[in-house]
Amino acid sequence: MKIKTFSQYFQESDEKFDSRVNDFIEDKQVVQITTNETASDRSDLTHSLTVLYKEES
């Protein structure tokens, strides 16, 4: 199994972020997707997710 972590770029639309993730998992066998949000001292919010997957044969 492998993992891939995605972070949403500053001012990246939700649709673009979703598209990047969907493009990546298109040919993978996804086991789990975990989301995370982190707030910095400056009140910046960072959204990320980690994909646990197996390569399709």
Measuring CA to CA, which residue among 55, 51, 6 is closest to residue 29? 55
Helix H or strand E encompassing 17: helix 14-25
More confident residue, 23 or 11: 23
CB 3 within 8 A of CB 51: yes
Phi/psi at 13 (nearest 5 deg)?
Answer: -70, 155
pTM of the predicted protein model: 0.81
pLDDT in tens, 18-38: 999 999 999 999 999 999 988
For 40-54, what is the mean pLDDT? 86
CA nearest to 51, candidates 39, 26, 40, 38: 26
Alpha-carbon span 42 to 10, nearest angstrom = 14
